[in-house]
Amino acid sequence: MLRTWRQRITFSDVVVWAIGLAIAFMVVYGTIATLRLGKYSPETWLDLVITGLALGGIYALIALGYTLVYGILRMINFAHSEVFMSGPFTAAFLADALVKTGIWDRYPLFSLALVLLLAAVVSATIAFLLERIAYRPLRTAPRLVPLITAIGASFFLQYAFRGLYGSGLKGFPTLDVLEGYWSLGTIQVLKTQVVVIFGALAMMLILFGIVQYTKFGKAMRSVSEDKETAALMGIDVDRTISVTFIMGGVSAGVAGILYVILFPVAHFFMGFIPGIKAFTAAVLGGIGNVPGAFMGGLLLGVLESVGPSLFLDGMGIPAPYQLKDVIAFVILVFILIFRPSGILGERMAQAKA
């Protein structure tokens, strides 16, 4: 067996493995150096981890949208970041109106529900329109074409919203109910962070449940496996795809509101970076895979949060947080070297890679 293994390895494999090992070495070295420095207390580390989980929860929610669409259409919906943005940006105006009429303060949960609803509806509508106008006609085109369309649609939506709502920042009012901390033993967790983490978890479970245990989910999985056969089996493929997009849109809209709960500012560019991060998270966890997207999101969030302090500080690198995206992408490459289909690997339906 060793001989066949030796025969199959090529020079490039060796180099790639060397790169991977170098990354692993640097990570371990940096970690040890930082811990030896003892600059950060355990509370600080815990704080960083929780911050990472909260941010990761949002990435996870957005990643769910990417992964659902990928699973069913085998395409990356680049414009998903704008689907994410459209919900909260529009809902910010509603929130403003609610604050002005005093409803926001008197019935906070009701207001929140209203805002969530509007965001989900707007995001879902944008996602639906996107699919109908830009993606449906291109279902049979070679893979690069819908990808380019998605990129174009992303920019179009970004700047359309910029034109509609203006290029400035739109503040989102905070909820008094969610101000402050909850204490878990010795640590303080921001209430908003808890809401976000649990909200993301809940959404993930709902989506996972739908995909795995409902009839519609079965339809989704079969369309994802083989479109033509599914059509032969009597499944309305067009409708299934549309509803998948709508589901992705709803999860993006919810993610959007959770996002503005954590970071109460909306603007037209707010979807771009989280979109890329979520895309990375989806790939990290294994694209097409709902729990994978969730896991990838959380992992990415924690890495971004803890990584610079843990890996880079010890090596004496100034302003380590400037490099947090570098860490995220390097870890991505690392994982993809040793596990090329992402951490949780398989897709919605176990199709050939």
Which amino acid, residue 218? K
37 versus 205: smaller Cβ distance to another protein = 37
164 versus 205: smaller Cβ distance to another protein = 164
Choose, by CB under 8 A, the member of 264, 292, 296, 314 that binds another protein. 264
Closest of 71, 75, 87 to residue 122, by C-alpha: 87
Which amino acid, residue 50? I
Interface with another protein includes 103 (CB under 8 A)? no
Interface with another protein includes 232 (CB under 8 A)? no
Buried b (16+ CB within 10 A) or exposed e, 296-324: bbbbbbbbbbbbbbbbbbbeeeeebeeeb
242 versus 341: smaller Cβ distance to another protein = 341
Q: What is the Cα Rg of the chain in Å?
A: 22
Interface with another protein includes 287 (CB under 8 A)? yes
Binding mask 44-83 for another protein (x = CB under 8 A): x--xx--xx--x--------------x-----x-------
Cα 182 from Cα 27, distance rounded (Å): 33
Choose, by CB under 8 A, the member of 306, 344, 347, 348 that binds another protein. 306
Window 170 to 199, contacts with another protein (CB under 8 A)? 170-171, 173-174, 188, 190
Window 242 to 261, contacts with another protein (CB under 8 A)? 259
Minimum distance from CB of 144 to another protein (Å)? 7
Choose, by CB under 8 A, the member of 31, 77, 86, 149 that binds another protein. 149
Interface with another protein includes 152 (CB under 8 A)? yes
3-state SS assignment for residue 289: coil
- Bridge partner list, 266: 170
Question: Segment contacting another protein (CB under 8 A): 25-33, 115-123, 149-157, 218-226?
Answer: 149-157
113 versus 148: smaller Cβ distance to another protein = 148
51 versus 216: smaller Cβ distance to another protein = 51
**Residue 285 contacts residue 71 (beta carbons within 8 Å):** no
Cα 325 from Cα 328, distance rounded (Å): 5
Interface with another protein includes 319 (CB under 8 A)? yes
Reported residue count of the chain is 353
115 versus 190: smaller Cβ distance to another protein = 190
102 versus 206: smaller Cβ distance to another protein = 102
Minimum distance from CB of 174 to another protein (Å)? 6
Interface with another protein includes 159 (CB under 8 A)? yes
* Spatial CB neighbours of 296, under 8 Å, sequence gap ≥ 6: 59, 60, 63, 280, 281, 282, 283, 284, 285, 286, 342, 343, 344
One DSSP character per residue, 126-175 reads HHHHHIIIIIGGGTTS-THHHHHHHHHHHHHHHHHHHHHH-SS-EE-PPP
147 versus 210: smaller Cβ distance to another protein = 147
